Structure 1
Amino acid sequence: MKQDYTEGSDNIFKDLGSANPEEKLAKAELIFIINKIISEKGITQT
């Protein structure tokens, strides 16, 4: 069976050839964690 895709790594930014992929992944993970905490605490901007 022909493979129609390429298996990626754990870093989408690296797979896309982005500059500084480790830094971008770390920032994305941090944003995810912060967003989760904000949602759990019900914090709003008002």
Structure 2
Amino acid sequence: MGTKKRTSAALADLNSKLYEMNHDFDFPLENLGQLVISMLQFQMY
């Protein structure tokens, strides 16, 4: 359970960072989604 909570917190943090990135660099949302997915897959291993 602790891991799940930490992961949620990390994802929330990541999400806000990506939100800022999106504003700073006008980063395409599709790329953002791919980045999140690859990060999640990395977490699984």
TM norm structure 1: 0.45
TM-score of the two chains, using structure 2 as the length reference: 0.46
Question: Which structure has the bigger radius of gyration?
Answer: 1
Q: Which has the higher helix share?
A: 2
